[in-house]
Amino acid sequence: MITRNIQNALLLAVLLSPLLAAQNSTPPTHALRAGAATVDITPPVEPFEDRNKNLRHDAGEPFEDLNRNQRFDPIWLGGFGKGRAANRINDPLWARAIVLADSNNVQIALVVVDLVGLLHVDCLDISQAVERAHGIPAQNVIIGSTHNHHGPDTLGLWGPRFSRTGATPSYRARVRNACTRAIGEASNRLTPVQVRSAQISDGVYLRDSRKPAVTDPILRAIRFEIPGSDRAVASLFVYSCHPEVLWSKNQALTSDFPHYLRNQVESDSGGIALFWPGVIGGLQTPRVAKKDFAHAEKMGRHLAQRGLEALSQASIDPVKSIEIRHRRVLWPIDNKIFRLAIALGVLPGGDRLEYPRPGILGRIGARPFIPSRLFHLRLGPIEIVTIPGELFPELGKTIRQSMTGRNRILLGLTDGMVGYILPADQWTAKGYEESMSIGKETGPRLIEDMRALISTPPR
Ligand SMILES: [Zn+2]
């Protein structure tokens, strides 16, 4: 028996030797693998005739009863004023995911949805579901929103009136499932890739609506490519501007300029394209002649072309491994309106806030604290940090100074949504951004937490 085994082993070695030799002469293997996927999150929309042009359906206005329940089922759009109901679909909304794996089998997932924001509680649930279903550790799952202003309200603030939430538990559940599924499908498609990244300054379609005018006009792009080519498996474009070309009277579901940006990137270089907002507080908004689809398309295509040009001139990044860590943060909610909205159940997630002292009594008169996570990710020369809100570019600059990567990327609206994050010296009693912020302390606390995260040695 033993001799036969040895004979077989020798025979196998002889048969395999040409293959082994061929493997040795192939180009160096790629340390990184990537996969990408999309899942549609467009809700059904019942078209209606808005006869009095008040942006919502009133009794007597004709509508198409898609689910035949004999009443109008509103989709409240998150962004701008309250009580804006969708009445048609222009382009589908998406959850778009990229999964990356290195040769040590460190796996991470990035997923972004075409919505105004996702609460930390939803992100936490998604990351735990991903770990259970697909084996990617929950602390390696990065979930963001484009801050789209023309998708269903998922934060609750844009219902028909203050006391009625605009968010439905069933749609939030659908979004969580879609994110988990998109990540699962992306991880099933892992394939070797090379990485290219580029940055280019372009403020043609960008303006700051709040003084002092400080923008971050740098478009940052990463492309995960089929080795030896410039064809994409996945592309990630990051730009610091609100997706709100269509403005406050639009009632069509759309993902605004990112829709056209992604289409252009995909038709030019293949694969799946993601758009992620950068630092959009302060307030970074489109500079367009007209607030219509033609201009959303112009802006999206322009940014896509500039990013693609920059990528075509970039060389391949040496990426040998994935480094990821995170820091859990707890920030106080001082905004009285937000606290009331939480108490009324308008803003979901109130049961998962934390208080300095335990028990019901500990809550009386106490400030609630909202948890979130900050992520720090390194892919060779690419360094990424994430922020759970709309950061003022002034603070973005401060954070970038403490980073060391060649390409320093800040992803906004990630792992939660605490609204605007202002520099302490710009806080006033009555500003718009202040009214959509959890409080004055968030900015200084974020800077402190980010410094601690960035300076932590890698695991
Ligand atoms: Zn905003």
What confidence tier does 359 reach under pLDDT thresholds 50, 70, 90? confident
What confidence tier does 10 reach under pLDDT thresholds 50, 70, 90? very low
Within 13 Å of residue 141, how many CA atoms lie on the same side as its CB? 31
Ligand 1 geometric centre to CA of 118 (Å): 13
pLDDT higher than threshold 70 for residue 29:
no
pLDDT in the model for residue 20: 43
Ligand 1 geometric centre to CA of 434 (Å): 12
Residue 346 CA to residue 290 CA, distance in Å, equals 34
Ligand 1 geometric centre to CA of 192 (Å): 37
Q: Which of 164-178, 228-242, 341-355 has the lowest mean pLDDT?
A: 341-355
Identify which of 377, 142, 394, 189 has the alpha carbon closest to the alpha carbon of residue 279.
Answer: 394
Ligand 1 geometric centre to CA of 313 (Å): 33
Ligand 1 geometric centre to CA of 325 (Å): 27
pLDDT in the model for residue 365: 83
42 Cβ partners below 8 Å, 6+ apart?
A: 89, 92, 93, 253
What confidence tier does 364 reach under pLDDT thresholds 50, 70, 90? confident
CA distances, 167 to each of 159, 191, 244 (Å): 7, 37, 20
Ligand 1 geometric centre to CA of 391 (Å): 10
Ligand 1 geometric centre to CA of 20 (Å): 56
Ligand 1 geometric centre to CA of 387 (Å): 14
Question: Contact at 8 Å (CB) between 377 and 429?
Answer: no
SS3 state at 98: strand
Ligand 1 geometric centre to CA of 282 (Å): 9
Identify which of 355, 351, 371 has the alpha carbon closest to the alpha carbon of residue 438.
Answer: 371
Ligand 1 geometric centre to CA of 390 (Å): 6
Average pLDDT, stretch 126-140? 98
Residues with CB under 5 A from ligand 1 (ion): 390
What confidence tier does 125 reach under pLDDT thresholds 50, 70, 90? very high
pLDDT digits (tens, 9 = 90+) for 30-76: 799 999 999 999 999 999 999 999 999 999 999 999 999 999 999 99
Radius of gyration of the chain (CA): 24
Ligand 1 geometric centre to CA of 420 (Å): 7
Ligand 1 geometric centre to CA of 437 (Å): 10
What confidence tier does 457 reach under pLDDT thresholds 50, 70, 90? confident
Domain boundaries, the chain: 32-455
Ligand 1 geometric centre to CA of 341 (Å): 18
Ligand 1 geometric centre to CA of 147 (Å): 7
Quote the distance between the C-alpha of residue 418 and its chain's center. 14
Average pLDDT, stretch 419-430? 95
pLDDT in the model for residue 398: 97
**What percent of the chain is modeled with pLDDT above 70?**
93
pLDDT digits (tens, 9 = 90+) for 292-306: 999 999 999 999 999
Residue 349 CA to residue 146 CA, distance in Å, equals 21
Ligand 1 geometric centre to CA of 279 (Å): 10
